[in-house]
Chain A
Amino acid sequence: MFGIENDPVLLSRLLTALTLGFHVIFATIGVGVPLMIAIAEWMGIKRNDPHYTLMARRWARGFVVTVAVGVVTGTAIGLQLSLLWPNFMQAAGHTIGLPLFMEIFAFFFEAIFLGIYLYTWDRFKSKMRHFLLIIPVVIGASASAFFITTANAFMNFPQGFDMANGVIANVSPLEAMFNPATPTKVSHVIITCYLTAAFILGTIAAIHLLKGSKHEYHKKALKLTMVSGAVFAIATAVIGDLSGKYLHEYQPEKLAAAEWHFETETHAPLILGGVLTEDNEVKYALEIPYALSILAGGLPDSEVVGLNEFPEDELPPLWVHYAFDMMVFIGMYLAFVSTLFAVMSWKKNWNPYNKPLLIMVAAGGPLSMVAIEAGWIFAEVGRQPWLINGIMRVEEGATTSDHVGLMLALFIVLYTILGVTCAVVLRRMFKQNPVEHELEKRGIEQPKRVSNE
């Protein structure tokens, strides 16, 4: 295939990127949506408003379909890591076996309670009791994101062991888990999952309103998701800033690659957009003076290390700048849209359900998923050429098997089938059973007109 069939390293990278790229869509939904379901059900109980309860119920129904794809692709990546990166997993087992193992417990916990939650909607007399069952799901989902991200943080900042003649010794599992990359990475991952989930559900509500539905249910859904979205977006911005400071301190080459920052200097400008010419000149970019120094060190005179300080074969590819910019731009867009909506619905006489704002919200869901992908691509490719930063290069970790190309082709087919069917099933589920219909069926609202059906 394209003359790369004899390169298991490149093919393993592509297959891993494919599986993770596909999995992260469902994993993000899997971490974020339970919280939104919990908020909706809580509102339903507190305000005694059946609209919110139905919202939780419908979200949960769609959620479980995406969970299924998340579970199976998660199983896939779990096994694939050992199949494609046997040497890496050998080293990882010695150092980060603990968080990998704990993630499964969190997942187990979530799986048990999700099963119970879904099948006990009308089983308990007390609504509160059913609500309590979603709490372990939220905790389990976020905890599994926490543990697996600490493993990824370790790959960025490996510590908690000694390396003697290629042999790992004196391992401290907790030190490996709680490395300097862990706090920013974990909080950034979890908060952006919440943000993305809020926007995806917001997009659904916005599309219904744009299509002409005037139903109170969709307005409530939009308000709930956008107000939560605004909170998550502001938190994301704060954590994003801390992540920049982390990179400055511990992985300056990643930050420099993201910002096309070549010379080490103080008062460094932040570069937005632009293209890089072959002799590393930045063109058509918007430069914000001092902003990079402020992002990195908090003060305009902070010195930012440039790419020229590093050996050429230890630098990541410079196109990660585009992924970085895309993530940041979309993040700012989401913060702007959700805050605007929150302010407009707070002011008495303003109508937040106007068409331009609805269109902007509707675009937010897909865009937030693009930002998740771009952010992960930046984080992962930005660590190149290292598999474990400074310890193991990518080519040292890959399998030697000759059949990776064939497997890549098979998995492309598999994910295409899964992705398409999942979309079709979700669409049909909600098309066949619109809100108005379900409100009547459950006796929450009276039918508006007599129908002959």
Chain B
Amino acid sequence: MSYELIGITVLWIFLYGYLIVASIDFGAGFFSYYSRITKKKHALHHIIQRYLSPVWEVTNVFLVFFFVGIIGFFPDTAYYYGTALLIPGSISIILLALRGSYYAFATYGAKDSHLYSLLYGATGLLIPASLTTVLTISEGGYLAVDNGNVTLLYGELFTSPYSWGVVFLAVFSVLFISAAFLTYYAAKAKDQQALEVVRKYALSWAFPTITMAFIVFFLLGERNELHFSNMMDLWWMFALSLASFAASVWLIWKRQNYGLAFIFVMVQFFTAFFAYGASHLPYLLYPYLTIYDGFTNESMAIALIAAFIGGLLMLIPSLYLLMRLFLFDAEYLEGRK
């Protein structure tokens, strides 16, 4: 495996990690707000707070990891994406900043405020929408490169069905992933009342998510034929994704084994996300930048991979400890600790 492939695979794994943990977090914020305005707050609030409080900071790190990593492995991305994404990037930063700090103000500052809750819920849906701009423009056709000057074509971005399709897919997926996780978490905490609420959310967001996935799949065919035909070569991975989706919905519907159901959701997104990413290669930004011409020098690549391995050796036991203490500890989950 070449260094380029190792680099992009590492980054893609972290982006996938962010996709899962951030979806849980973003969706939980939305559900928390929604349950508040529909007067079901008492049922959900406790369970969401109990999960999110110890892990919200970790969620943020996954994202930082990805964008610092991509500058390290593929410095040229800074030039193209950095120049083009000033506005959408800054908007994402502002939303992330408001969300993160108001979460802490509300949780640790111990003030139950409607405004804080609204900010937290609304940003939970706006952030995935703004972050997907990066994936959208990577398909090509949204940038003008002229004399080394990169500009983002806002008209093209806002009128393209593909870019809107990606936004809706992201938002629906966030809600589905989050509801599926909270279903598992509520079941584990033996919180029957919360379980009923989130299980209903999971089932009702399943259909929109998979429909949107199909729509985006075909919109991409019109947008970038090369990428689409590469995706067709990996059809079996998408088929696996669909099968996992069916299995997870079936389990939740039958009220069986919510843990396994959530693992199926993770497999569903893992296969689809990796098939999407693999078929995008070698392009980082079609047609300007591939993983080969944007790659860092060899000594930096070796250093980064070494740091990465060392970092993982330290992170994995720590993450395991975090999960054992807060995710898989029956007494903590049931609120006795």
Contact = CB atoms under 8 A, between A and B. Distances in A.
Contacts of B96: 72, 75-76
Contacts of B81: 82
A116 B67 contact: no
B67 A78 contact: yes
Interface residues of A, number: 76
B144 interface: no
B61 A104 contact: yes
Contacts of A87: 79
A174 interface: yes
Interface stretch (B25-33, B249-257, B275-283, B316-324): B316-324
Contacts of B99: 72
Nearest to A60: B108
Nearest to B85: A83
A43 interface: no
Contact of A111 (B57, B80, B102): B57
A123 B324 CA distance: 13
Interface in B264-297: 296-297
B336 to A, nearest CB: 11
B72 A101 contact: yes
A135 to B, nearest CB: 12
Interface string B77-89: 0111111011101
A75 B131 CA distance: 14
Contacts of B303: 97-98, 173-174
B69 interface: yes
A429 B107 CA distance: 11
Interface string B155-182: 0000000000000000000000000000
Contacts of B109: 65, 425-426, 428-429
Interface in B83-108: 83, 85-87, 89-90, 92-94, 96-105, 108
A422 B101 contact: yes
Contacts of B308: 101
B221 interface: no
Given A89-B78, A410-B90, A97 B101 contact: no
A174 B304 CA distance: 11
A97 B73 contact: yes
Complex A-B, nearest 5 residue pairs according to Cβ-Cβ distance, in ascending order: A93-B75, A68-B104, A97-B72, A86-B82, A89-B78
Interface of A: 61, 64-65, 67-69, 71-76, 78-80, 82-87, 89-95, 97-98, 100-105, 107-109, 111-116, 118-120, 123, 136, 168-174, 399-401, 403-404, 406-407, 410-411, 414, 417-418, 421-422, 425-426, 428-429, 432
